Structure 1
Amino acid sequence: MERDVKELISQMTLEEKAGLCSGADFWNTKSIERLGIPKVMMSDGPHGLRKQAGETDHLGLNESVEAVCFPAACATASSFDVDLIGKMGEILGEECQAENLSILLGPAVNIKRSPLCGRNFEYLSEDPYLTGKMAAAYIRGVQKWNVGTSIKHFAVNNQEYRRMSSSSELSERALREIYLPGFEEAVKTAQPKTVMCSYNKINGVYAAENEKLLTKILRDEWGFEGYVVTDWGAVNDRVKGLKAGLDLEMPASGGYNDRKIVKAVREGTLDEAVLDKTVERILKVLFSYVDNRHPEAVFDREADHKKAIEVETECAVLLENNGVLPLKPEQKVVYIGEFAENPRYQGGGSSHIHASRVSSAWETAMEKGRNITYVKGFPCDRDEVDEQQLKEAAEAAKAADVAVIFAGLPDVFESEGYDRTSMKMPECQNRLIEEVAKVQPNTVVVLHNGSPVETPWVKNVAAVLEMYLGGQGVGEACDMLLYGEVNPSGRLAETFPLRLEDNPSFLTFGGDGKKVNYREDIFVGYRYYDTKKQPVRWAFGHGLSYTDFSYANLQVSGEAMNDTNKITVTAEISNIGKCAGKEVVQLYISDKNGTPDRPVKELKGFTKVMLEAGETKTISLEICARDLSFYHEGLRDWYAPSGRYEIAVGHASDDIRLTKEISFETKKQLPFRVDGATTVGEILADPRTAGVMAQMLEAINNAAKTEEGQEAVSASDSESDAAMMKALLDGMPMKSLISFGVPGEQVEAIITQLDALCR
């Protein structure tokens, strides 16, 4: 049915309009029964429904309805599979329709600035390009069912410590290149129904009242059409937030902030038209759900459990393998560690799902009749060494053909609400792994964790399989991967540094409680490690398979690009192993022009391809000028200098297989002003002034020749003198020409003439 929302708003009282701008309770919006406006319910996500009934809370402390827990974002991003995450979104959208939920609060797309962020398990990646593509796919999937999403937390919310009040201090370039592109891609290509603003300040201004963020960037630049909702309790100044573009306050404020809105309108400090526009945005989203219910939607928990298993098999990352995996049915295997029977499959806090069932690797092995025994070894919920259990584990490992240790981080180590203090695993686990590896060379470590850990034992074990927080089907997925029923195809969406101190944010993460300075700027994750040539444990994009792949015949549709055209990149990928498998092909761009402060490479394309043994397929990726660009603060836009760029295609950020250079030419001109402090080199580098400056230098030299015929400014008697003079001129401010004999009046005239050329 067609709704005349503006007409509906015209029938509302001021109090009713103000009331619609906040929740009725923790999860529901307000209704206006006389006008046929119903209340609608929201639910936490992003990897399942956390629908609460009765006593409700935002941190997941109270029970929610039984639902299916899919792999967390730390896992799904590692699939590098936009189709997969889109299908997962569709499943969640149908579940929401079946449970009468209008908005699913997710995806969470904040960048993994540091391994210590307590909520990293809920975030996708350290890379903004991958983040944006995966988030957009998730949103499109959920919203196919006319259920809204709420992409969060907008923006620059990269820690839990004082997240409600601290200010993230960063450059405009870092904001635009690292912390906003995930949101930008999702908004422009998937149009989430809502955007959730974060608690924190950005450069001193609360996100909830940041007009630049909520209106100028989100709506004016990106074209966002939905409404902005607060993170729960994020309002600072309600009226100021409304003016800035904040629409819905959640949860309820007991009418306190509603009365402030009414008062501001009546006193003339808030234009009622601003309130009307806010209500219009809220109602359009509300009715897009109410008028498009799907009575056929079914929440089939058993069927969706199987789908959760399928998703996790695509997400797990095989980090190391000397050939011990896949396991063979005839081998005698011992499972060690309580995670084998009680897996950690999700994180703590607002995304905590009341899982309909949970499968463990030990339970699955028993059901399949695997030749396996089990030893507890260490507890899954604390760091506690039991010498007797340690001894039993070592003895069992020695008697087996293979020992599989299920390790990772207990719930208490990482959760919403607080950050980790180190990258270390529990000491009881590290010690057991070391002791078992001494007696059993075929030791496999299976990890259950939401973010990178230090692995001091890694060179002594035969294989490492990263399951991340794999959802309620993690046990069955793990069994399938260990025994080769599915070939691992996940790739790391974040770098595993050798140690915490290697991380670029190590010196500033957390801040002083009031401010946190992002001094690493754009050099986050692999952008830092690759540029600095800093050794890491496992690089961004890394992941092994039970087969091998080769790359060949890199081709481009054109070797020259400009501001408007695009280039198609193709390459042949072959499965040269003995079993079917999936390869994630990654495309990186490198600026070869010596442009200051640019990472050595940046991800600008990826695709996942399925190949049978011996099969070859041609993959195709497309790049445009934006993919070559950085954000230029002076231009206030994206900019790539004319010159050469390298297209690098490979298996990981540290495993590039094919490269090809292309040329690029831009018509964009950078802002440039000439004054006495401008150097000769800067003037000669700008096409608007270079020719004129060269002629002026020649004229100055000709006029200043000595009696012996030598040039006073640029001539020299030797190559070394010439190099010195060139370097001197390059860094010489225009005002300094006076000291070398050029009349001051002439210098001033030259500066005026050159500056006029740039206006």
Structure 2
Amino acid sequence: MKITNLRSCFSLAIVGAALFNVEHGWAAYSTDHKDSADRRAEAAVKAMTIDEKISLLHTQVGFPFPIGNTPKPDGAVGSAGYAPGVPRLGIPALQESDASMGVANPSNIRPNDNATALPSSMMLAATFDPDLAYRGGKVIGTEAHAKGINVMLAGGVNLVREPRSGRNFENLGEDPLLAGIMGGYSIKGIQSKHVVSTIKHYALNAQETGRVAVSSDIKEGAARESDLLAFELAIEKGQPGSVMTSYNQYNGTYTSENAFLINQVLKGDWKYKGWVMSDWGATASTEKAALAGLDQESGENLDPVIYFGEPLKKAVQEGRVSQERLDDMAMRVVRSLFAVGAVDHPPKLIDINFKAHAKVAKATAEQGIVLLKNDRNQLPLSRTLRRIVVIGSHADAGVLSGGGSAQVTPSEAWFCQRALIMSARSIIPHHL
């Protein structure tokens, strides 16, 4: 018994030495994945100071920002969000980029850094092909990893309830089963390349107009059978490292501080282990949000104060937010980085095979354009039919993509495929 205890102490000493090895840092510990992401994250957080924990829980805009004339943060590659990480423990900085259809480059902050522009998520949904969703996710993850990015703000599964909503093109239609499965496979593809993917915007985010004030009021049963079901399915399939809350209120309470959505449903019923971030400028409080389950304030530049900076530290020191809750917040972030391999396989700046990736974009466009195929002539259509009529405003205009944060500056190879999408009207008749 004494010998066993002695060996145990010796083993712990070896682990401790690996944990705090100055030369190799935190990543020297359990890089062979013999320990779970949970245990590694728990040990990392125990080694952190309160300031190091807090540093993981609020992100800046990762490029020069006009409000306050804020320069690009030191260490940021130039993307939507940035947090410095904990370098002494080998925890990488968070380099966060939009979005679901490719790696965005806001305001060309990374000069001439193009990416594969995948077709809209609505078109991806129209393929009904989970494998294409996974392949598209791998394209996004591969390119993000090659650009120094380790968090993609992707995975939009909000159901299309309002046809005029400005971000419908980022989502996967109106059916929760289809949106959940396709979204899950896309997330899974992104994370296969050691890049965290979010799932968003949680939840009931059905419109852009008035999004920061509108309340989506719906009974629990109906919510669980529709929008929440899409999130549940996608989280089960894709295991996203982070969930992004939305701007809107749900039944009168902002989603970023909605204890029912976050604590009860997401972390309680679904046993979600990742971290919950706000949308950019969508954090509304410190104590209320933290206690409701929000783990990270995103885009602090857009908030009147940095809610999860000094105010959170003071709330912990004064006991209004427990030390255990703070540790849980930090652990969730670190755990997701370990779970996808972002710590053990940091991004590498390498050349990208855009021609190969363009083939995935082309395949998605081809399958998504064909809405109905007349196999074995089952439809009462003439075999000589070559033209159909498309009725509606701007029915004659091809729109390559929507705008905003999801806008991707396409690579040269992708331009070779754009004629396929633009000529959808001429392709459809031949596939009826």
Bin for the TM-score computed over the shorter chain: 0.7 to 0.9
Partner residue in 2 for 1:475: 419
In structure 2, list runs of 5 or more residues that go unmatched: 1-28, 32-39, 63-80, 374-380, 388-393
Change (3 A) 1:99 1:296: closer
The answer as to whether partners of 1:52 and 1:64 remain within 8 angstroms in 2 is: no
Partner of 1:219: 267
Whole-angstrom distance in 1 between the partners of 2:164 and 2:266: 29
Whether the aligned pair in 2 keeps the contact of 1:151 and 1:196 (CA below 8 Å) is yes
Whole-angstrom distance in 1 between the partners of 2:257 and 2:216: 15
Aligned positions of 1:253-402 closer than 5 A: 253=301, 255=306, 257-287=308-338, 288-293=341-346, 298-318=351-371, 323=383, 343-357=398-412
Q: What residue in structure 2 maps to residue 31 of structure 1?
A: 85
Shift of 1:290: 2.4
Partner of residue 16, structure 2: none
Q: Is the 8 A contact 2:248 2:255 kept in 1?
A: yes
Determine helix, strand or coil for the equivalent of 1:151.
strand
TM, length-normalised to structure 2: 0.76
The Cα shift of 1:159 comes to: 0.5
Using the TM superposition, give the Cα deviation of residue 182 of structure 1 relative to its aligned residue in structure 2, in angstroms: 0.7
Matched, 1:11 2:47: yes
SS of residue paired to 1:180: helix
CA distance in 1, matches of 2:241, 2:280: 17
Q: Distance in 2 between matches of 1:313 and 1:5?
A: 43
Distance in 2 (alpha carbons) for counterparts of 1:7 and 1:120: 41
Aligned-partner Cα distance in 2 for 1:216–1:45: 28
Equivalences, count:
361
Letter of the 1:120 counterpart: N
Q: CA deviation at 1:482?
A: 3.8
- What SS does structure 1 have at the residue aligned with 2:268? helix
Whole-Å separation in 2 of the counterparts to 1:324 and 1:353? 39
Any residues of structure 2 matched to 1:721-732 within 5 Å, and which?
none
Q: What is the Cα deviation at residue 156 of structure 1?
A: 0.4
Corresponding residue for 2:229? 181
The aligned residue for residue 442 of structure 1 is: none
Asked if structure 2 preserves the Cα contact closer than 8 Å seen for 1:71 and 1:311, the reply is: yes
Give 1:152 deviation, angstroms: 0.6
Cα-to-partner distance string for 1:470-490 (whole Å, 9 max, x where unaligned): xx8341356598469x974xx
Query: Any idea what SS the aligned residue of 2:404 has?
Result: coil
8 Å CA contact 1:192, 1:226 repeated in 2: yes
Aligned mate of 2:212, from 149, 164, 176: 164
Determine if contact 1:50/1:65 at 8 Å carries over to the other structure.
Answer: no
Task: Look up the match of 2:128.
Answer: 80
1:194 aligns with 2:230: no
Tell me the CA shift for residue 326 of structure 1. Answer: 5.3
CA distance in 1: counterparts of 2:188 and 2:86, whole angstroms: 30
Among 128, 131, 134, the alignment partner of 2:176 is: 128
- 1:359 and 1:343 mapped to 2: Cα distance? 16
The letter of the residue matching 2:206 is: N
Shift of 1:298: 4.9
Give deviations 1:101-156, integer Å, cap 9, x for gaps.
Answer: 11111121111112121211111111111111111111111111121111110000
CA contact (8 A) 1:325 1:483 kept: no
- Aligned counterpart, 2:141: 93
Instruction: Describe the SS at the equivalent of 2:197.
Output: strand
CA, structure 1 residues 224+300, in 2 after alignment: closer, same or farther (shift >3 Å)?
A: same
The structure with the largest alpha-carbon Rg is 1
Question: Could you tell me which amino acid in structure 2 is paired with residue 30 of structure 1?
Answer: P
Q: Supply the AA of the counterpart residue of 1:263.
A: K
Secondary structure of 1:289's counterpart equals: coil
How big is the shift at 1:343? Answer: 4.0
Q: 1:114 aligns with which of 159, 162, 170?
A: 162
Aligned counterpart, 1:153: 201
Aligned mates of 1:256, 1:129 — CA distance in 2:
36
In 1: Cα distance, 2:372 partner to 2:235 partner: 33
Q: CA deviation at 1:211?
A: 1.4
Offset at residue 223 of structure 1 (A) = 2.1
Higher normalized strand content (fraction of residues): 1
Does residue 104 of structure 2 align to residue 50 of structure 1? yes
Could you say which residue in structure 1 is the equivalent of 2:68?
none
Over 3 Å counting, the alpha-carbon distance change for 1:87 and 1:359 in structure 2 is: closer
197 and 480 in structure 1: CA distance in 2 versus 1, 3 angstrom threshold:
closer
* Residue in structure 2 matched with residue 142 of structure 1 by the alignment: 190
In 1, Cα distance between equivalents of 2:202 and 2:101? 19
| Contact kept in structure 2, 1:325 and 1:482, CA below 8 Å | no
Where relative contact order (Cα < 8 A, 6+ residues apart) is larger, the structure is 2
**What is the rounded CA distance, in whole Å, between the counterparts of 2:350 and 2:137 in structure 1?**
14
Counterpart of 1:33, as a letter, is P
Whole-angstrom CA distance in 2 between matches of 1:117 and 1:25: 25
SS in structure 2 at match of 1:257: coil
Give the CA deviation at 1:348: 1.0
Deviation at 1:53, TM superposition (A): 7.5
- 3-state SS, counterpart of residue 198 of structure 2: strand
1:292 Cα offset (Å): 2.4
Q: 1:295 to 1:270 in 2, by over 3 A?
A: closer
The CA RMSD over aligned residues, in Å, is 3.0
Any conservation in 2 of the 1:310–1:477 contact (CA below 8 Å)? no
Task: Name the counterpart of 2:30.
Answer: 2
Matched residues in 1 for 2:108 and 2:427: separation? 44
Alignment check: 8 A CA contact 1:24 1:30 kept: no
Which runs of structure 2 are paired with 1:443-462 in the superposition (5 Å)? none
Q: Distance in 1 between matches of 2:215 and 2:348?
A: 45
CA distance in 2, matches of 1:359, 1:476: 11
Cα offset for 1:208?
0.4
TM-score, normalising length: structure 1: 0.44
> Is contact 1:209-1:236 (8 Å) kept?
yes
Q: Which structure has greater helix proportion?
A: 2
Query: Is the 1:79–1:314 Cα contact (8 Å) retained in structure 2?
Result: yes
Secondary structure of 2:155's aligned partner: coil
| 8 Å contact from structure 1 (residues 40, 286) kept in 2 | no
Secondary structure in structure 1 of the residue aligned to 2:200: strand
1:364-401 CA-partner distances (Å, limit 9, x unpaired): xxxxxxxxxxxxxxxxxxxxxxxxxxxxxxxxxxxxxx
Q: Secondary structure at the match of 1:350?
A: helix
Q: Which runs of 5+ in 1 are unaligned?
A: 57-62, 328-337, 361-471, 489-544, 546-759
Q: Is the 8 A contact 2:104 2:406 kept in 1?
A: yes
